[in-house]
Chain A
Amino acid sequence: MITNFILAPILAHLITAVLLLFFWKRVKTQKVVSIIGNSIAFLLCVRLFMVTQQEGFLVLQAGGWQAPFGITFVSDTLSSIMVLLTAIVSLTVGIYSTASLNVSRIKYGYFFLFHFLIMGLLGAFLTGDIFNLYVWFEIVIISSFVLLTLGGKKMQMEAGIKYVTMNMLASIIFLTAIGILYGITGTLNMADLSLKIAQVENRGLVSVTALLFFAGFGIKSAVFPLYFWLPSSYHTPPSAIAAIFGGLLTKMGVYAMIRVFTLIFIPDEFIRNVFIGIAIMTMITGALGALNKRSVRRLISYLIVCHIGYLIGGLGIYTEIAIVGVVFYLIHDVIVKSNLLMISGIIQKIRETIDMTRLGGLAKDYPKLSFVIAIAMFSLIGIPPLSGFWPKIQFFGESLRTGEYILLGAFVIASFITLIVMARMWSEVFWKESPKPLTEEIDHFAQMPYSGKFALVAPIAALSLVSLYIGINAEGVYEIAQKTAYELMHPSLYIDAVLHNIFEK
């Protein structure tokens, strides 16, 4: 279906961001405007997801320029899933940040940047033009640069240098790849590229371009050996910002990778082996990195790296069922990682530290909150019937079936180490007696007004409920993932919808 509605969620965030500029330094108004804008955008995103589910592909040719000449926006099932996830995370983190951030950060434009970041993410998920994807990427990274360094502490500055350098380098590699791709095909529309790239005779050049794209997206999604900027920068910003970064920014790289490598460059044997090799190293290094960390936030940063390996590995197997696993895991991972990073913020609020050796006794002091947190942690490990369990079956089964035994071993080791790390975190933070005497002043959480407590706990509870829902309603999610995988493995559906306006359901 051709519809202008695709742009609605993007516009909602754009308008909210611009509105916020008028209330510069007025903290209360900013909070209210942000929550209202977020809620409207959330409803629009849900509607976009529903319409895409019913109607199949949604296409918009910007300015009425027919593809491949204009910029195309496409909402297929994968895009609409990512849009929905972005909406869920942005609404919950938006509410969470009203209570968790200090006033000066909000005064200097936190919410404004937040909405621009989300707008960029939504644009990146919905665009059907490779250069437009680059532009949305840039919108996202420049907002993230400012969010990361807002506050100007020494630690943030140091992390900022690494983050900014690596992301600028990634953008340049991406731009180089686009330049070469335009040179060999003469088009930028992804559907058109998919047709034209198959006719290129110089296959060597195509492989090189594909690997350039992989390197560019690899830096953004933090795969081995390009991940080191992530653990050294994600622990410095406040937890609300880290939740957006950890949940969505790295997944944007993975999304771009899935899109480019299922539609434009169909991976040959060599690229698949590169994927699998890198996935194994990513999982192992990420898991080993998480093992000796004492800070909760750093531990989660390494787990983010580790679990990116699952997604790349699934993409490397490249069968339809493996792609189902990738999509399912992506859905699960976005929710859980954002949730865990918000949880690290609430732990800091309660105990003034996130160093595991100095934490303890949370289960005794806050039994209900601990139960909600436990759901998120057990989802990450993949205890049935919680959400992390189901996609892992696909990964294990498919790597066994296709004979990728080393990959299977890496999946098992990474899952096992995730279990160890999470179990240790649970016993250190929640069960162990607190090593230092607790006084009233330490617990900033208990001193908060009721509305503040609600704004901190409700988002975590909501995301835990989503995890629970994904686990219990696994069949429904599996069906959507299956539909996505079918669309991804049959790029002709995408091409027909964009270039010939033929829409099959």
Chain B
Amino acid sequence: MELLLVLLVGVLYSAGIFLMLRRSMVKLLLGLLLIGNGANILIFLMGGLTKGRPPIIAEDQTNFTGPYADPVPLALILTAIVISFALTAFAIILLKKVYATTGSDDLDSLNIQDLDI
């Protein structure tokens, strides 16, 4: 299971970076999304995978016996997902607006103003 997730993280990061290096703005955004998801799975993976051991103390016990699944990474991922949801929503609107004003999806068409020093 770990190996599978490691590979998944690797694929998400590399695909994200590959997409970000394209000239299309939509691909840039998709790339950012993929890397973001890769980061979330990385946190999940780094927290350690424990199968079938919820972090709940049994009724007749006073503390944990044996390993248990760490709930903190899940809280972190949840926070990160909410934040990236907001950022993505904003970025999509921004792209739409840029497309409406410049009429192009090409990132290179954005550099007109840089000619003016």
Contact = CB atoms under 8 A, between A and B. Distances in A.
A165 B23 CA distance: 13
Contact of A182 (B36, B47, B80, B114): B47
A112 interface: no
A294 B117 contact: yes
A141 B90 CA distance: 11
B83 interface: yes
Contacts of A298: 117
5 contacts: A135-B79, A157-B97, A179-B76, A182-B47, A295-B116
Given A157-B101, A158-B98, A161-B98, A131 B76 contact: yes
A259 interface: no
B113 A172 contact: no
A154 B101 contact: yes
B91 to A, nearest CB: 6
Contacts of A178: 43, 76
| In the complex, the 4 A-B pairs of residues with the closest C-beta atoms, listed nearest first | A183-B46, A179-B43, A158-B110, A157-B98
A253 interface: no
A146 interface: yes
Contacts, number: 96
A103 interface: no
Contact of B43 (A145, A160, A182): A182
A273 interface: no
Contacts of B36: 168, 172, 175
A160 B86 contact: no
Contacts of B72: 182, 188
B94 A149 contact: yes
A155 B113 contact: yes
Nearest to A355: B116
Interface string A283-317: 00000000011110010000000000000000000
Which secondary structure dominates where chain A touches chain B? helix
A448 B36 CA distance: 48
Nearest to A135: B79
Interface in A90-122: none
Contact of B113 (A158, A164, A165, A179): A158
B68 to A, nearest CB: 13
Contacts of A161: 25, 94-95, 98, 107, 110
A400 to B, nearest CB: 35
Interface string B19-46: 0100001001000100110010011011
A135 B81 CA distance: 11
B5 interface: no
A138 interface: yes
Nearest to A186: B70
B10 interface: no
A145 B90 contact: yes
Nearest to A180: B46
Contacts of B110: 158, 161-162
A7 to B, nearest CB: 19
A183 B47 contact: yes
B32 A168 contact: yes
B87 interface: yes
Given A179-B39, A179-B46, A180-B46, A157 B32 contact: no
